[in-house]
Amino acid sequence: MRLYLKIIFIVIILIYSDDIFSQRKIIYGETLQTKEKDTIFLINGLLSTKYYESPIITSNVLNNKFEISYFSSYPQMYFLSWKSEQKDILFHEDPIFLDNSTTNIIARDKHCEVVGNSSIEYKKEFIPYMLNQSNYENINNYLFENGSNFDLKLSSYISHKTDSYVALWYLVMRFNENGYSPFYEKILNSFSKRIKSEKLWMILNDEFQKITIREDKKFPKLSLKNLDLNEDILTIPNAEYTLIDFWFSRCRPCLEQIPAMKVIYTNYNSRGFNIIGISTDKTLNIEIWKKRIVEKEIPWKNYLDENAILATNEKIFSFPTNFLLDKNGKILKKNIKIEDLEIFLKENLKE
């Protein structure tokens, strides 16, 4: 009886394994003559491997030919990298979309031409739609120079193509670049029921739900370090409005705005305005952080989020990032410009 059960178990495992391996496919590729002998990498770029079933795909190129063994339960977005370039270029910025319909790749120096459904959507539908009635000819320039308008077009694209993995991957990128916003959450929830039942959407949704620093919510109690490097709970001061400023000691834009912030602090602190600084400096730069506070004569209280652990969890990757709080600690605005902050305080704080 035991032998019989063991045989049945082995047969089931073999059937299951065969099913998995039968779903893997070989994607054939070719390169230009300049890459006659090299190694090609399709990688996750700056995105976390958590979004991927196969975060890195690699193949040796010989006589301009290569083969990729591929399988994923949902379309994947990659970035092209060459072994011969890795000292100078980590990866190229044009995304590459692979799915289980992909049959062929032509790899050029900076991008790939891919035969597959997701790639066809990207080139024939997504790019034309996003660039239509814009002043841009390149989607990467559009994204870099006018991200807020890009996000509006992204939302519009999804509203008529709710099953788009291309658009979902772009939302993954935007969320990881800019952090949480109610608008991004609205976009996330506009996908179809089918997409919402699949792995990539659920991973992204889980990350959204874990964000604790969000507009219209009370700023959370954070365990940070004070100037003496002792653990301390951030305490929101008793003020009408408080600006929480995330920065670090080698951040030029952060340092450049300090003089203007000091003027606003001096003019409005007695009228109910306060500032709290949260540095995300690495351990090796802690002394520089302390030095900056003295050099710049920063009068407001500063905390340390050592090695940006908290900031990373909250998807705060660009600096400076700030949050304007009301007297109850509720977040009113994210990333208010310094000039707009002064106007706001002038209008809302009495002499």
Taking only the tens place, the pLDDT of each residue in 126-164 is: 999 999 999 999 999 999 999 999 999 999 999 999 999
Per-residue pLDDT tens over the stretch 193-205: 999 999 999 999 9
Nearest CA-CA partner of 153 in 127, 177, 172: 127
Confidence of residue 67 (pLDDT cuts 50, 70, 90): very high
Reply yes or no on whether the pLDDT at 228 is more than 50: yes
More confident residue, 333 or 36: 333
Determine the pLDDT at residue 10: 41
Determine the pLDDT at residue 94: 95
Coil, helix or strand for 337?
coil
Contact 191, 171 (CB under 8 A): no
Distance CA 174, CA 164 (A): 16
Q: What is the DSSP letter of 218?
A: B
Beta bridge partners of 43: 79
Determine the pLDDT at residue 207: 96
Determine the pLDDT at residue 301: 97
Torsion on CA atoms 185, 187, 188, 194, rounded to nearest 10: 150
Mean pLDDT for 239-255 is 97
Sheet holding 321-325, edge to edge: 231-233, 223-225, 301-304, 273-279, 241-247, 321-325, 331-334
Is residue 271 classed exposed, middle or buried when 0-12, 13-18 and 19+ CB atoms within 10 A define those classes? middle
Backbone CA torsion sign across 208, 210, 211, 213: positive
Coil, helix or strand for 227?
coil
Per-residue pLDDT tens over the stretch 301-338: 999 999 999 999 999 999 999 999 999 999 999 999 99
Determine the pLDDT at residue 277: 98
Q: What is the DSSP letter of 208?
A: H
Mean pLDDT for 65-75 is 93
Determine the pLDDT at residue 4: 47
Distance CA 108, CA 42 (A): 13
Determine the pLDDT at residue 11: 40
Confidence of residue 18 (pLDDT cuts 50, 70, 90): very low
Contact 29, 67 (CB under 8 A): yes
Tell me the range of 1-5, 36-40, 157-161 where mean pLDDT is highest: 157-161
Determine the pLDDT at residue 33: 74
The one-letter amino acid code at 73 reads S
Determine the pLDDT at residue 23: 63
The one-letter amino acid code at 265 reads Y
3-state helix, strand, coil in the chain (%, to 5): 45, 25, 35
Place of tokens 């788009």: 164
Please give the mean pLDDT across all residues of the chain.
Answer: 92
Determine the pLDDT at residue 350: 79
